[in-house]
Amino acid sequence: MNILVIHGPNLNLLGEREPDVYGTLTLQQINTEIQKLADSKNIVVKFFQSNHEGGLIDFIHENRKWANGLVINPGAYTHYSYALRDAIAGVNLPAVEVHLSDISKREDFRRISVIAPVCIRQISGLGLQSYLQGFEFLIGALSLPQ
């Protein structure tokens, strides 16, 4: 099974960026924990981070035939990128949206996700566990008889 793990804008600064909101783990540390989980389940993962909407979209397009599904933290694109939403819908891969912080308990603009309707699940507010639970959920969904 092949899975994409995609991080949107500003997530490259994890560890130093608003640690009271996003925690102290770096993106590399988060990816390492996901890699460990993947290894324990014999799953191949490709990681990608970009601060650019088009970069995220290109990566999804380029890997659409390779991947069985994707886990994505779209960062602020969550709240307004119809282009990213269309990319996910367009490749027809099961996707899980994850967030480190609880987007339902922050500013009003964060309560809306334009990505969630094209995802099979949204997990928010659990820090690293959002990624790990999102990954597990995706694997579970992909393992069900199609």
Task: Tell me whether residue 111 or residue 144 sits nearer to ligand DQA (CB atom).
Answer: 111
Active site residue 131: no
Quick one: which segment of 31-39, 48-56, 99-107, 131-139 binds ligand DQA (CB under 6 A)? 99-107
CA distance 95 to 87: 11
User: Which of residues 44 and 112 has its CB atom nearest to ligand DQA in the complex?
Assistant: 112
Contacting range for ligand DQA; rule: CB under 6 A; set: 31-39, 58-66, 69-77, 114-122: 69-77
In the block, tokens 């909101």 appear at 21
Q: How far is the CB of 110 from ligand DQA (least distance, A)?
A: 4
Indicate if 22 belongs to the active site: yes
Determine if 31 is a binding residue for ligand DQA (CB under 6 A): no
Binding site for ligand DQA (CB under 6 A): 10, 73, 75-76, 78, 99-101, 103, 110
